[in-house]
Structure 1
Amino acid sequence: MNTVVTSKEDILKASRTLIQKEGWSAVNIRSVASACGVSVGSIYNYFDSKAALMGAVVESVWCEIFHRPENGAVFQDTLACITWLYGRMEYGCKQYPGFFSLHSLGFLGEDKSDGRQKMQQTWQHILEGLCSVLRRDANVRPDAFTREFTAEKFADLLFSLMLSALMRQDYDPGAVLEIVRRTLY
């Protein structure tokens, strides 16, 4: 076995490739070491346990799927943002078949708290991003939000619809876009 030092990013990239080709269950210390062409000990130089590796891989996959686009204008318009999010969900499903549903269900156990935390951090980041877009969108009517119906509550609704679409593998944002148009514009 080659004991050449690799990088954390190489390890995560190899892990993502394993998920794409063989599914989530293929990722373990030995298989990742083999994919990187390094010893098992080299992986442990970066990750002190399989759980630490898995948590980092989960974060890496989420970051790849929902990386910031070069065109930041998508975060100035609610309709464009939702369209982008649904497109990224579709991309994620194609690149990592079953990742959303398996990841969500697989990280609910107590021994997977790091993975669950990474998932929840990503979800929180997306939810906060939706709130920010709703507040910045110049097309939103000034009276669209009230004390009872806040941007946060609407973002939470949009996010719930997004999670439901993920589980159904429905990447057509049409109905959600119509809800936004009728509610805010």
Structure 2
Amino acid sequence: MNTVVTSKEEILKTSRELIRREGWSAVNIRSVAAGCGVSVGSIYNYFDSKADLVGAVVESVWCEIFHRPEDASVFRDTQACIIWLYGRMKYGSKQYPGFFALHPAGFAGEDPSDGKKRMQQAWQHMLDGLCTVLRQDANIRSDAFTEQFPVEKFADLLFSLMLSALLRQEYDPTAVLEMIRRTLY
């Protein structure tokens, strides 16, 4: 058995593979070490605890699912962005069954603060991205947003609908797109 892991990314890649094959509960220090072909101590060279590993894996999965598209025009059109996001949600659900609903359970019995913080950072990044798209979309009426109804509130609404769809495992953006059309165009 190797005693040196080539990289932190290799550990995260192995962890993602474990989730794909065996589900979220398969991620622990021993299973990841076995998957990497290294000793348990080698994993601890990169992660201080199971909670640290789990937090990094959560962040890694979120980043893989919602990586930037090759076509940057997705971020200039709100409807295209929503279609892309729902497509990525469907991809994530297929690649990581149960991940969206179950990964918080991976923190049970551990200090959840790091994983929760990483997840919230990923969510904030997505919210900020939605705000940017809404501000850059030339098709949106100039009076669509006001002081009482700013871009941030609409982005928060869109993000809430997205999270709700994740939990229901519904990846058809048709209703959200209709709401956008009626509200903004």
Question: What secondary structure is seen at the aligned counterpart in 1 of 2:74?
Answer: helix
State whether structure 2 residue 58 is matched by structure 1 residue 58: yes
Question: How far apart in 1 are the matches of 2:43 and 2:176?
Answer: 43
> Does structure 1 conserve the Cα–Cα contact (< 8 Å) formed by 2:141 and 2:184?
yes
Mark the CA change 1:28 to 1:6 in structure 2 (over 3 Å): closer, same or farther. Answer: same
Q: Which residue of 1 aligns with 2:148?
A: 148
Q: CA deviation at 1:111?
A: 2.1
Give the partner amino acid of 2:51: A
Mark the CA change 1:106 to 1:128 in structure 2 (over 3 Å): closer, same or farther. Answer: same
> Does structure 2 conserve the Cα–Cα contact (< 8 Å) formed by 1:108 and 1:116?
no
Q: CA deviation at 1:105?
A: 5.2
> Does structure 2 conserve the Cα–Cα contact (< 8 Å) formed by 1:14 and 1:36?
yes
Q: 1:156-175 counterparts in 2 under 5 A?
A: 156-175=156-175
Q: TM-score, normalised by structure 1?
A: 0.96
**Identity value in percent:** 78
Question: How far apart in 2 are the matches of 1:108 and 1:155?
Answer: 30
Mark the CA change 1:174 to 1:126 in structure 2 (over 3 Å): closer, same or farther. Answer: same
Question: How far apart in 2 are the matches of 1:76 and 1:161?
Answer: 20
Q: CA deviation at 1:115?
A: 1.0
> Does structure 1 conserve the Cα–Cα contact (< 8 Å) formed by 2:18 and 2:27?
yes
Q: CA deviation at 1:15?
A: 0.2
Q: Which residue of 1 aligns with 2:10?
A: 10
Q: Which residue of 1 aligns with 2:42?
A: 42
> Does structure 2 conserve the Cα–Cα contact (< 8 Å) formed by 1:29 and 1:50?
yes
> Does structure 2 conserve the Cα–Cα contact (< 8 Å) formed by 1:18 and 1:27?
yes
Question: How far apart in 1 are the matches of 2:11 and 2:84?
Answer: 28
Give the partner amino acid of 1:184: L
Question: How far apart in 2 are the matches of 1:175 and 1:50?
Answer: 40
Count of residue pairs the alignment pairs up:
185
Question: How far apart in 2 are the matches of 1:128 and 1:103?
Answer: 23
Q: Which residue of 2 aligns with 1:139?
A: 139
Structure 1 unaligned spans of 5+: none
Q: Which residue of 2 aligns with 1:99?
A: 99
Question: How far apart in 1 are the matches of 2:18 and 2:81?
Answer: 30
Give the partner amino acid of 1:87: G
Q: Which residue of 1 aligns with 2:67?
A: 67
Q: CA deviation at 1:48?
A: 1.4
> Does structure 2 conserve the Cα–Cα contact (< 8 Å) formed by 1:6 and 1:36?
no
Structure 2 unaligned spans of 5+: none
Question: How far apart in 1 are the matches of 2:106 and 2:5?
Answer: 31
Cα deviation 1:82-103 (Å, max 9, x = unaligned): 0000000000000000000112
Q: TM-score, normalised by structure 2?
A: 0.96
